[in-house]
Structure 1
């Protein structure tokens, strides 16, 4: 059985939004009789950090950072960053709202407990007042009784 030959082609789209889409290798065991659009047989130079195919020069060049694709990619990244920041902000607001709700619930529970304690203190105060009145009446009766006994 004959070994299959591996063919390497290079895809390039100068207007693509990311470096990976502007240039990447395609490995296949099929030889292209005609090269598809944006596909080239020449490998880009290792000196190029972001290579793209230039139809004007007929070869690989460094990608233009001001090209439409590069600008769109940068704006796309900024939009993604803003969307992420907005999602983070919404999460923080949600967490703060939950904290506020929890605090309000704790305050309501504390107020309920304070009202119960206040009612218990009122009952206790009423009982103490009644007890003091009873004691005072008893002491007054005893004092009057002692005065009457002393007057005799």
Structure 2
């Protein structure tokens, strides 16, 4: 009996031409067809009477995989192959690259500062080595003089006596 009533209602709707289209959207569904499903309905529904996830606004033809966004109360793109999605990916990639470049520049500046400190330290070491070399240059002649045998009167006399004894014999 219900099938007959439905067929009668369908015939009447088709005869009157009063079919409204509503759009169902379940963005969490793994079935892509349920992201934006067109539903014919006999008659019209007020926005208050629309069932959950039903919307009177038709999604734009530009959207590949349209889903209803509750925050903006409009259809948005869900496909990652659409032009807006690609632009968003490129913008995110660009922002990431800029951040990396800023980090690189900061590291480069830090390395340059560290290199300056190393150069200053090496310069100090070189100055210290130069001073040490100058002091050693002054000490070498003194050490050489100290290492020469010193002729004392006692030693020269004994050496002379031994020579004399050897020569006399």
TM range (shorter): 0.5 to 0.7
- Between structure 1 and structure 2, the one with the greater Rg is 2
For residue 148 of structure 1, report the CA deviation from its aligned partner. 4.6
After TM superposition, list the pairs within 5 Å mapping 1:100-111 onto structure 2: 100-111=115-126
Question: Structure 1 residue aligned with 2:101, among 86, 90, 93?
Answer: 86
For CA contacts below 8 A with separation 6 or more, give which structure has more relative contact order: 1
Structure 1 position 127 matched with structure 2 position 139: no
CA contact under 8 A between 1:48 and 1:62: conserved in structure 2? Answer: no
1:100–1:142 CA distance, 2 compared to 1 (3 A): farther
TM-score (norm 1): 0.52
1:87-123 deviation line (CA, Å, top 9, x unaligned): 1111222222222222222221111111111111122
Gaps of 5+ in 2: 1-23, 29-34, 37-56, 69-74
Q: Does 1:138 align with 2:151?
A: yes
Q: Following TM superposition, where does structure 1 have runs of at least 4 consecutive aligned residues deviating by more than 6 angstroms?
A: none
Alignment TM-score, normalising by the size of structure 2: 0.48
Question: Number of aligned pairs?
Answer: 103
CA apart distance, 1:80: 0.4
Indicate whether 1:48 and 2:27 are aligned. Answer: yes
